[in-house]
A and B are shown apart, each in its own frame.
Chain A
Amino acid sequence: MTIALATNDPLARRRRRKPRAPALVLAAASLIAMVAVLAIFAPWFVPHDPGLQDLGKGITGISGEHLAGTDTLGRDIFSRVIFGAATALVGPIIVASAAFAFATMLGLLAGYLGGWVDMLIMRWVDFMFALPGTLIIIIIVGIVGGGYWTAVGVLTFFFIAPDTRIVRSAVLEQRPLPYVDAARTLGLSKTRILFVHILPNVLPVILAYVAIDFAFALVNLAGLSFLGLGVEPGAPDWGRMLSENRTLLFSNPAGLLLPAGMIVVTAVSMNLIGDWLFERLTR
């Protein structure tokens, strides 16, 4: 009876309606979708071969044939930016999801088991926070070599510590709730409580942070490529294009502004989506 009353109440109905994503978040989501389509179907979209050099042509400005002009080797910048979408998406996806896979395990264990397990894991997290991460990542990728995949691996490792802290505090919020006590009273095993009952409740927080991690990983990978430590020379990559096309600043600024703009716009979009997911899923 009370349920029927509640659904007839216009106020209650308004509260029940799912809040729609604001226009900005929708725009961000469509932009990410567009970049993903570009990354997967790059060969269909490009007007020119991204690696094709034309030394006779050299640097040219924006034209009908070359929408963003050409670089010092006469390569079409527009096509290279489209091909760059692949490395801009693949690495960050791997970093964000792998880091959270490890962090979820560690965070669940630390948060639920407590005691010496918690202490051990959290001391390690504290230590990682005390390291100057950006610098150590540059040093490791720089002296070990291996380019893009080394960068992805090292970044993943450095993302685990802050992510573990996030998962752990989410687990700590769940632990005193009645459903956990109930599950324990029923005699369910620790693994079952952790993975079947607590995990689904902390998953929304994790999902929101995966999006935010993606944006940070994108920015960091672009930075390493910019320093020449990420993708191999010649590969079309937004970060690498910024250092390779540094000399185009006066002759063809589009060669710098387009990849720079793509990095910012993609990262801003993922951050907006992450912030929105966080608001939407955790309150």
Chain B
Amino acid sequence: MGEGGILRFVLRRLAVAIPLLILISFVVFALVKLAPGDPVRILLGSKPATEDTLNAIRERYNLNDPVLVQYGKWIWSVLQGDLGRSIQGNRRISSIIATRMDVTLFLAAMSAAIVLIGGIGLGMLAAFRRNSWVDRAVVMLGVVGISSPAFVIGIFLLYLFGVVLQWFPVYGEGDGFLDRFWHLVLPAFALSFSVMAIIIKITRASMIDEMDKDYVVFARARGIAPSRIVSHYILRNALVPIITAAGLVLVGLVAGSIYVEVTFSLSGFGSLTFEAVEGRNLPLIQATALIFSVIVVVANLLIDIIYVLIDPRIRFGAVAK
């Protein structure tokens, strides 16, 4: 199976992803219909409730149409780049999101770096020192990480590094690159801790798995330097399961950003989502949830494709079936 096979795989994967996206976007759209009470009243916000304004709201949000037609009209304008307007302040949702996205992307990038470097590094360390105190400490760190929500870790970090040691600021996102980096160090660690725990666990298991295989014994017998065996042989194979977990990492970071941004009073996309829920800002909830879902589905699609590209066994074998 050559290039054509990969293309076929990508097309087949797209054939699943697109209906999935449509289904998820419908769930996201319909979710706000769960809100008790008359949606017109909620959408009205602080405007006076005259018959005219109520009718205008019904007209604008197509509330007189059946739900499926409402969904169709909504998704059509979303596809044209129009996410609607916020109830509060009547600002365009796309411009609100644009102003809040950069903090979240900065935070996610820092956290992803911590997760990858820390998670793979510690997982490898534990695998090399199997059954030693280092291994036990790393495994324990993993258990604590999985059990610790980001906002709890955030509180501990705030206290230790913000109050006791006073190394880092305790709130806000800072201006300019360096200042922002400085402000986001604690949030990034809080966000990455539990996700890193998953990567540690997977890396350790997958390294131990590979280290026991025959090709490692053979490489050793040939007298290849241990560092080369690790970097060129073991790590390359051990990375395959780690990449599969990249989807988990991304979903964990995206969802965790809601908690972390609230904990550290950061004005990002995560806290925007929370403010939308708190203020029952229905159009804003739909928009943020849709963006979240698209990120998750697209990321998983890309990971599946990367996975096939890096693992020849999958490329030449399993996909063909």
Footprint of B on A, CB under 8 Å? 127, 130-136, 138-140, 142-145, 215, 219-220, 222-223, 226-229, 242-243, 249-250, 253, 256-257, 260, 263-264, 267-268, 270-272, 275
Contacts and interface: CB of A to CB of B under 8 A. Distances in A.
Given A131-B27, A138-B258, A227 B274 contact: yes
B158 interface: yes
Given A132-B251, A268-B143, A260 B274 contact: no
A249 B163 contact: yes
Given A143-B34, A144-B34, A132 B300 contact: no
Nearest to A264: B148
B155 A256 contact: yes
Contacts of A272: 143
The list of the 5 closest CB pairs from A to B, nearest first, reads A142-B277, A134-B255, A267-B147, A143-B35, A268-B147
A250 B170 CA distance: 10
A272 B144 CA distance: 9
A136 B289 contact: yes
B143 A130 contact: no
Given A138-B273, A139-B31, A249-B163, 11 more contacts: A131-B293, A132-B292, A135-B273, A135-B292, A136-B289, A138-B274, A142-B278, A145-B36, A227-B274, A264-B152, A272-B143
Main SS of the interface on chain A?
helix
Contacts, number: 119
21 contacts: A132-B296, A135-B273, A136-B28, A138-B277, A139-B32, A142-B277, A142-B278, A143-B31, A143-B277, A143-B280, A219-B149, A226-B149, A228-B278, A249-B162, A249-B163, A253-B163, A263-B148, A267-B148, A268-B143, A270-B147, A275-B143
B24 A131 contact: yes
Contacts of A131: 24, 27, 293, 296
B152 A242 contact: yes
Contacts of A257: 155-156, 159
B195 interface: no
Contacts of A229: 277
A264 B255 contact: no
Contacts of B159: 249, 253, 256-257
